[in-house]
Amino acid sequence: MTTATSTAVEPADRLRQVAVTVAEVFCVVGTLVGVGVIGTRVAESSGGALAADATLIAPAVPAFSIWTPIYLGLAGFTIYQWLPTQSAEPRHRAIGWLAAGSMVLNAAWLLVTQQGWIWVSVLVMAALVATLGLLVRRLEEHPSYGHGETALVDGTFGLYLGWVAVAACANVTAALVASGVDPGGLVAELAAVVVLAVAAGVGVLLARRLGGRWAVAGAMAWGLLWIAWGRLVTEPKSVIVALAAVVAAVVVLVAAARMHSADRSAVRS
């Protein structure tokens, strides 16, 4: 079994570790606001634009349980990066500031929605997706050195990226509907299908750029399937959108599987 590399700890490493820790605390506070402990729940903020029944692209409520492993993983990562063997680890140097940025953006999104700034929340979400995409790309460039490392670091940030990629689509749709762009009827359903096709395309792109990471694909499929479930059992109902969401989930998973198959073939050759 390989281990973390042994490198001298520099002042910049300590600064990065502190930044990650402060960002995690900020993220926790933002989460407490978002779940309604010290603020308004996300579903009730922004005039209800982000509720599970607000748009055709809104995932059903159980989908948001994915935040539990993500938040636990972020807390674990924050502690993990302080271990003596990890302080100067090149992987942490590559992703630490991006991890901190992602946690700050996460909390910022929750705080922005509290103010009802729905279009600002779209911009924050876009920045979060871009930050996580770059972070996971750097994980690809700095391979994991053990199963525990992979589960905690790659797993957490893979789930994080996959989920917010779907959430971003839902966020944009919510902003449009809240702004009065809601044609209704079949036109709205077809527009939702287009959004889901874009989500599937993003999933394929992430699979190709990030080596077909299962955490990313799994989180995206999770979100898409809960969109399908929501359109079948809660308002606004739409069989067309539900089927499109299922197809999108399958496309994302197949893209990841194909990348893994291609990687195995390359290794054998």
Averaged confidence pLDDT in the chain:
91
Every domain of the chain and the residues it spans: 11-260
How many angstroms separate the CA atoms of 214 and 191, rounded? 28
**184: left (phi > 0), else alpha (psi -120 to 50), else beta?**
left
Nearest Cα neighbor of 152 from 92, 217, 205, 101 is 92
The pLDDT of 25-52, averaged and rounded, is 82
Q: Give per-residue pLDDT as tens, 153-187.
A: 999 999 999 999 999 999 999 999 988 887 878 99
Q: Give me the pLDDT at residue 63, please.
A: 96
How many angstroms separate the CA atoms of 149 and 19, rounded? 21
**58: left (phi > 0), else alpha (psi -120 to 50), else beta?**
beta
Q: Give me the pLDDT at residue 144, please.
A: 86
Nearest Cα neighbor of 136 from 51, 210, 57, 199 is 210
At 265, is the pLDDT very low, low, confident or very high (cuts 50, 70, 90)?
low
The pLDDT of 44-54, averaged and rounded, is 80
Q: Give me the pLDDT at residue 154, please.
A: 97
Three-state DSSP class for residue 225: helix
The pLDDT of 60-78, averaged and rounded, is 96
Three-state DSSP class for residue 234: coil
The pLDDT of 14-22, averaged and rounded, is 97
Kindly state the percentage of the chain with pLDDT values over 90: 75
At 3, is the pLDDT very low, low, confident or very high (cuts 50, 70, 90)?
very low
For residue 239, the tally of other CB atoms under 10 A from its CB is: 11
pTM of the complete model beyond 0.95: no
Q: Give me the pLDDT at residue 2, please.
A: 42
How many angstroms separate the CA atoms of 231 and 56, rounded? 7
Q: Give per-residue pLDDT as tens, 99-141.
A: 999 999 999 999 999 888 999 999 999 999 999 999 999 999 9
Kindly state the percentage of the chain with pLDDT values over 70: 95
How many angstroms separate the CA atoms of 200 and 248, rounded? 5
Q: Give per-residue pLDDT as tens, 173-225.
A: 999 998 888 787 899 999 999 999 999 999 999 999 999 999 999 999 999 99
